[in-house]
Each structure stands twice: as C-alpha cells, then as structure tokens.
Amino acid sequence: EKSFSHKLPGEHVYKGVLFFGYSPPGALDAVKDLQVREDDVFIVTYPKAGTTWLQEILWLIMHDGDFARATSTPVYLRSPFIEFKDDVLGEDGLDLANKIDSPRVLKTHLQHSFMPMETNKKNCKIVVLFRNPKDVCTSYFHFYRSSSSFGQFKGTWPDFLDMFLAGHVDHGSWFDFTASWWQQRNRDNVYLMYYEHLKENTLAELEKLAQFVGKGQLSTDLLSHIAEHCSFGQMKTNPMTNHLDVYSINSHISPLLRKGEIGDWRTQFTVEQDEIFNRVYAEKLGHLDIPFQYRP
Ligand code: A3P
C-alpha cells in the first residue's frame, strides 16, 4: 500500500472508498434511503466525465426546453448532486432533491453498490456517462489544483497520476466505478453513453437519449437548440452553467469548463506515463473490452 501526502479536506474512507468532506458518512448513508420517484432520471458519472454537460442537456430534455428557467437558475440548483453536503454554505444535495418538483434530474458520482436502494426496484432511469480515463485523469488533475474542496492540490502531475491509479482520490478508484457500472449496462433502465460520442455526434446522441428517457421523438428544432445551448463555448460563457460563481473553484487556476476536448491527455502524459497507465488499465479492466476512444 502506497501512502500519499495530499489530504482532502475532511477526507474519510466509506466502505473502502475515499471521499472528501463534502460527502460525509451521514450523507452517504442518507443517499441509500432516498425515496426514488418513477420519473427520476439519475446521471451517473465518475468526476470529470462531462457531468455538468449532461446535466444541462438532460434537464432541458426533461423540461421540454425550458430555456427561461435554464438561463435564470444555476444548473447545480436544478439538478442536485445527491451525495454533496456543504455545511458552510448550508447546501445539501439530498435536501434539495427532496424539495424539487418532478421530473428530477439527479447527479451522482457513486459506484453502483452505493446507490439509493430503491433505484434497484423502481423503474427510474439511470444514464451513465463514460469518458476515456486518460482525459478524465487529466481533467481531474486540473480540478484538484483549482478547487478548495479538494484542498487546492499543490503536488505535481506525476504525484496526481499515482493517486489516480491507486484510487486515492475523491470518490475512489475510477477502475472500480467503471467496472461496477459496466456490469449494469444491460438493465432496461440503464443507458450507457460516451463523452466522445456526445462530442462528435451531438444531435444523434441527444435524439437517442430523449427516446431512452421516454420523451419519444423530439423535434429537430428543439434538439438543435439544446445542442447549441449546451455547446462548450455557450456553456463556458453562460453564468448558469460555467460555475464561475462557485466559491470553491478558483477559475484563475483552472475553470470547470477548461478545454472540453477529446485527447487533451496527450499534452499531459509523457510516453512513459502513458505506458504505465496502459499497463494498469490492462491489468484492471482490460478483460472487459470497453470501447473507449482516446483520440478525436
Ligand atoms: P476538461 O477539463 O477536459 O476541459 P464534470 O462536469 O464531470 O466535472 O466534467 C468537466 C469536464 O467536462 C471538463 O473537461 C469540461 O471542460 C468538460 N465539459 C463541460 N461542459 C462541456 C461541454 N458543453 N462540451 C464539452 N465538454 C464539456
């Protein structure tokens, strides 16, 4: 077992998984007991897979393109992060989830076994968004540097890469998360998407997504409007989605909407680091043959 010097504020290990203090044990317990509604849609991602992008897309799909609300209320208030609790701000994702009207679009980064128990019984919808892990790791490194929730990481990139490969980061191992959801992908109410497909084929992906969540065939006009509103450039300048107002993120170090590209890992990884990553990947997940796309 390696030891790591970086400490997350309030970090703790819950059922074998490392969490920062904004997902305290009590909040993780309470999530298990969340009362699920039949028309709930869960967005399940590992951090940095494109969660915010999918939140904005799905919220608009579920609310028939209510752009008036989308441009007047921050996305994190419309689509609660269920295992997030900030005692300083008094923000409680679960509390918010219990208060908002249906249809709810709920965000979580949890592995399958940590999910609300009722998601296994009720006919809610679960949309899982995957992104190639080298871009996830790169994005997570920059977010660790900029966010006080993660203790504004001062270590080096090689330090972070070690932490990521060991699962010693908030919400634990990307490998465990991914294996847990890959196993669920054939359930009727689970829909697996890829960041890279969404980026390269946005309209077609939105059309399939709308079908999955029960919205049927939405008009091309509406889907194009949503795709345009949710483009990287639009979301980066839109104060309701860019998170420039979130006190914990120092956007001068690195904004949440940083690059939004496929393959930025190639500017971050050395050849040797790439080889190490590939070796660990092959050992842990190689047998699953998940079709990750690493390049545009
Ligand atoms: P990068 O750091 O590679 O730019 P999350 O929302 O899960 O925290 O993920 C953040 C990542 O998604 C960031 O990746 C961010 O730029 C990217 N992202 C956010 N909105 C996007 C959009 N509309 N299009 C493409 N990528 C987006």
A 10 A CB-CB count for 17 gives 20
Domain of 150 in residue numbering reads as 12-288
- Report if residue 109 sits inside a domain: yes
Q: For residues 206 and 15, give the distance between their C-alpha atoms in angstroms, rounded to a whole number.
A: 35
Please give the structure tokens belonging to residue 125: 């919808």
pLDDT value at 213 more than 70: yes
- Report if residue 128 sits inside a domain: yes
- Report if residue 178 sits inside a domain: yes
Of the residues 109, 112, 142, 171, which is catalytic?
109
Give residue-wise pLDDT tens across range 110-168: 999 999 999 999 999 999 999 999 999 999 999 999 999 999 999 999 999 999 999 99
- Report if residue 141 sits inside a domain: yes
241 CA closest ligand 1 atom index: 20
Give residue-wise pLDDT tens across range 23-78: 999 999 999 999 999 999 999 999 999 999 999 999 999 999 999 999 999 999 99
Q: Whose CA is nearest to atom 27 of ligand 1?
A: 260
Predicted-assembly ipTM surpassing the 0.90 threshold: yes
Q: For residues 68 and 73, give the distance between their C-alpha atoms in angstroms, rounded to a whole number.
A: 9
Say how many domains are in the chain: 1
- Report if residue 294 sits inside a domain: no
- Report if residue 133 sits inside a domain: yes
Please give the structure tokens belonging to residue 222: 């509406």
- Report if residue 250 sits inside a domain: yes
Alpha carbon 160 to its chain centroid, in Å, reads 19
A 10 A CB-CB count for 36 gives 20
1 pLDDT band (50/70/90 cuts)? low
pLDDT value at 248 more than 80: yes
Question: Residues 232-245: what's their mean pLDDT?
Answer: 97
pTM of the predicted model as reported, rounded to 2 decimal places: 0.98
Q: For residues 213 and 225, give the distance between their C-alpha atoms in angstroms, rounded to a whole number.
A: 18
| CATH number of residue 211's parent domain | 3.40.50.300
- Report if residue 5 sits inside a domain: no
Q: Is 243 a catalytic residue?
A: no
List ligand 1's pocket residues with C-beta within 6 A.
45, 47-53, 135, 139, 142, 199, 230-232, 235, 256-260, 264
8 A C-beta contact, residue 52 and residue 75: yes
Amino acid at 24: P
